[in-house]
Structure 1
Amino acid sequence: MSVEPQGPVLVEGPVEIVMEDGTVARSDRFVVAVCTCRRSRIQPWCDTSHRRRERADSPRADSPRADSPPEDRKPR
């Protein structure tokens, strides 16, 4: 097993994880990345959402963000 700082736990598979609601998530892969940051949209598996977290040196909230669409492409 391997733990990445602020990232997933890598577990040798196959893996079965019992979720809080009692459902079972299964993977037959030889290595499985289990989300620990709780940002993944495919819980309990990691989708690399931990890589997109805000950094302390990111732009201010009132300034245009680099990932926002150009003004002429915004939905109306």
Structure 2
Amino acid sequence: METYTLLREIADSWVLLAMFMFFLGVGVWAFLPSQARNREDASLIPFRNDNPKAKCSGTCASCKCADDALNFKEPRNV
């Protein structure tokens, strides 16, 4: 048996099985209850650098927000 043929048979069976077991292990590890905090942290990555906007009460005399709220052009879902 040639070396190439032997290595090809090993790769086709045992290495494929080892890679599949590794894939299953990573999948199980990712969904363990102890990883919940890490999953939540990863899900909030897009919002990390967002600065919250200041709330406008719309009561000041020069408030542009109050004018915009009265002159909307598109229907709003309330």
TM class by shorter chain equals: under 0.3
- More strand per residue: 1 or 2? 1
- Bigger radius of gyration: 2
- More helix per residue: 1 or 2? 2
Query: Greater relative contact order: 1 or 2 (C-alpha under 8 angstroms, separation 6 or more)?
Result: 1
